[in-house]
Chains A and B, each alone.
Chain A
Amino acid sequence: MLDKLVARTGGGAALMLASLSARADLQYNLQPPATNVASQIYNLHLMVLWVCLGIFVVVFGAMFYSILRHRKSLGHKAANFHENTLVEITWTVIPFIILMAMAYPASKTVLDMKNTSDADMTIKVTGYQWKWGYNYLGQGVNFFSNLSTPRSEIENLQAKDKHYLLEVDHPMVVPTGEKIKLLITSNDVIHGWYLPAFGIQQDAIPGFVKSVWFKVDEPGTYRGQCAQLCGKDHGFMPIVVKAVSPQDFTKWIQAQKAVVVTYNPNKTYTEAELVQHGAQVYAANCAACHQANGKGIPGAFPALDGDPIVNGPKAVHIETVLNGKGGRMPAWKDQLNDFDIASVITYERNSWGNHTGEAIQPAEVKALRK
């Protein structure tokens, strides 16, 4: 344990020295703004920072002057004044005026941020534990956006990618130059949709639909994270927005519509086919809690390896996945289709120490949906 600690921290210390000397990319300010609102925020912050710095220098200049000059060791005799109405009124009124000068531009930006009218396009954003769902309203495109950083990078078994923890399988794609309105809500607990370059942070609250907007001009990839503590994998549900030209966006949306149905609801799949797809579904949705090895986390998340539900009647297993269990196991019926659920259940029932040999078909899942 100790040498493990030394190896880790020693390695870290070396890394730190190296990075301190090597890095020129240290960021001391807000991210470069990509929208008009974000640049207003950027400038507002700079303005307030300079005002505070000015006040700091004046007030503490006076204090340190006094500390240096008015000390007993220099033989300075204490004066005895302890009141001065004029001075006291002055230093109440002047800060008040400075504050009003700050409040004015801030209020203007607030009103600008709140103006969600006349949007060109609306996307509904739903927070889930622990991923984002994006629904392009009226366009029939609807998908989930999962962290795509492999587990092995998180567990330090593999070198970390440049976009470590800030990469997803399906980014939100938006056209440049159009006013996009987001309707933000949550399926379970409170999340926070936070994209610094757009100047947007909006809590996703179950039972509420809140709206924000942005208009981005530069094509590019913009990255953010969930900002509101939402449980175990709060740090692992990033947000990636790809802004593309309107032409590229049209192509993208057509392509999305084409891939919506990729499975045949009436086909009888083989166990191998189901297990192959199920492994992917499991990695994206289940492994966060039940772990890739199916052992769960003792005391927090049950093991599926050897679990009585997984090795018991299949109807109970299907219903558990569809409807959730005990408040902590989420209901997956709205997030996964029949094929996904059939596949993942088949995978679970034929992995690790589980050998039921059963292949669950999409039709069986469909039959049990309420």
Chain B
Amino acid sequence: MDATAHTHDHGHEHPPKGIMRWLTTTNHKDIGTLYLWFSLIMFLSAGSMALMIRAELFEPGLQFFQPDFFNQLTTLHGLLMIFGAIMPAFVGFANWLVPMMIGAPDMAFARMNNWSFWLLPPAALLLLGSFFVPGGAAAAGWTLYPPLSIQMGMGMDMTIFAIHLMGISSIMGSINIITTILNLRAPGMSLMKMPMFVWTWLITAYLLIAVMPVLAGAVTMLLTDRHFGTHFFNPAGGGDPLMYEHIFWFFGHPEVYIMILPAFGIISQIIPTFARKPLFGYASMVYATASIAILSFTVWAHHMFTVGMPAAGQLFFMYATMLIAVPTGVKVFNWVATMWRGSMTFETPMLFAIAFVCLFTIGGFSGLVLALVPVDIQLHNTYYVVAHFHYVLFSGAAMSIMAGVYFWLPKWTGHMYDERLGKLHFWTTTIAFNITFFPMHFLGLAGMPRRIPDYALQFTTFNQVASVGAFLLGISQLIFLVVVLKCIRGGKKAPSKPWEGADSLEWTLPSPAPYHSFQTPPVVK
């Protein structure tokens, strides 16, 4: 039986066993799995750094850490969450789902796919290892502004190389995704028939290719300023520290959308499924995504309203930023209209999706508040900003990832996850998230700066509330880990289409999905 199977498919179904399977794999599902596990490990490690930060901030005074180490924690928490947890998670989703959703057998460049994943673990080791070198990890904040970043020890060099590696990985991943989407679609699947998740990733991949080289350039200039006597950012040598900020945020703002557009895609798959109704305004959703992506290149300096730009600059970037609220609003309205007069059920993915729409919108509103130059000058670099970007990155990006994991776990593992535990995870996460981050709005309004290890007495109460919430939030994620492990090991057998309202192509494949997705392309009508 084995022998016949072997001759039939020329051994394609039999990857090597053990570690070699994962090191040498060119299979989009294996690589997707690697990305997702990598992301979960980074999420938990960067999350524990956040808990160390919150422990130090539980009371005024220095309790656990010296200020220098505290700054290392905030810096690495940011870098690891962005480049280690959120971005790889979305690439993992793309690997697993894009070929299945467009009716392809695998990704276009299978070997490059392997390489783009395996660049990430060394990058993570550089970042985590930098805590143990003399002078410790980079402590200049994830933005790495010079001249402060020039003062750092060798931890900064390790960070720079890690960013280079992760940037190369992202660019290769993006080329792969774009090529796959543009060339490997099943007959009949025109661009405007693609699932929304595929659309958002197509646009995100272009953003990545456009801006990752910009970041690589900026950190390379930091490197040569540090070691090879250049003065790109040193005013004493005719350089300009502000130029770094401009270059960094020209990367940094599109980066924000790199971390949220795939989330929009996941949510746009989930809400129609559980509302049992097609996505409202599919075409306007595509146009809104594209306009957000284009506008994202024209708003970078709103991160720099306090540098003292001329009034004309401030006004331009304020108007451009406010304009982004329009397409973002369209998306929220479309999701609500998709739910409207549907026939809804509330399994865990749907609960996360609904929380996403609500909480992401709060993050969007605080973004609008920050877009107004005078208010931003009052709130820039305060905890209000910390609250704002955790509402868009945790309850936005991270919770959409959780929604997606619950949604596709049956397809990935062949088992249903534990719905009771999943709901418990949802409720603890959502409640603890709000206890943690909502009070930070008040702290910021009252004038508490971010990135400080110790604070004045009037900020005590809200900091304590936030710290308690943070520990609840951290513990809740262990439930998530349990659900995932349990689902991999067993559970109720999942049918090929476990969700009544699902209609994209991946649900036509059996669960778990076969090693090669579509050996013969399906026909899309």
Contact = CB atoms under 8 A, between A and B. Distances in A.
Interface of A: 8-9, 12, 15-16, 19-20, 23, 25-31, 37-38, 40-41, 44-45, 48-49, 52, 55-56, 59-60, 62-63, 66-67, 70-73, 76-83, 87-88, 91-92, 95-96, 99, 102-103, 106-107, 109-111, 113-114, 153-156, 160, 162-166, 184, 188-190, 192, 194, 196, 199-203, 205-208, 210-212, 223-236, 297, 299-300, 327-328
B311 A27 contact: no
Contact of B278 (A82, A113, A192): A82
A79 B145 contact: no
Contact of B308 (A73, A203, A226, A227): A203
Nearest to B275: A78
Interface stretch (B42-50, B413-421, B458-466): B458-466
A281 B465 CA distance: 39
Given A20-B461, A56-B365, A201-B378, A72 B358 contact: no
B147 A23 contact: no
A196 B447 contact: yes
A20 B151 CA distance: 41
Contact of A194 (B71, B147, B381, B462): B381
Nearest to B304: A203
Contacts of A60: 358, 361
Interface stretch (B28-36, B340-348, B389-397, B422-430): B340-348
A59 B333 CA distance: 8
Interface range, B side: 35 or more
B380 A103 contact: no
Interface in B439-455: 442, 445-447, 449, 451-455
Contact of B345 (A48, A71, A81): A71
Contacts of A76: 341-344
A41 B378 contact: yes
Given A203-B308, A234-B452, A70 B282 contact: no
A15 B66 CA distance: 23
A148 B258 CA distance: 45
B469 to A, nearest CB: 12
Contacts of A80: 277-278
B326 interface: yes
A88 B67 CA distance: 51
B76 interface: no
For the complex of A and B, 7 pairs with smallest distance between CB atoms: A207-B235, A235-B452, A210-B308, A196-B447, A78-B343, A227-B381, A52-B365
Given A23-B461, A95-B325, A208-B242, A71 B344 contact: yes
Contacts, number: 313
Nearest to A230: B148
Contact of B241 (A160, A205, A236, A297): A205
A223 B308 CA distance: 21
**Interface of B: prevailing SS:** helix
Contacts of B240: 207
A99 B280 contact: no
A157 B134 CA distance: 30
A99 B323 contact: yes
Interface centre among B135, B315, B458 (most CB of A within 10 A): B458
A31 B374 CA distance: 15
A99 B58 CA distance: 38
7 contacts: A23-B461, A70-B339, A106-B374, A192-B380, A194-B447, A211-B308, A212-B308
A160 B60 contact: yes
A165 B145 CA distance: 25
Nearest to A200: B377
Given A67-B354, A72-B276, A299 B136 contact: yes
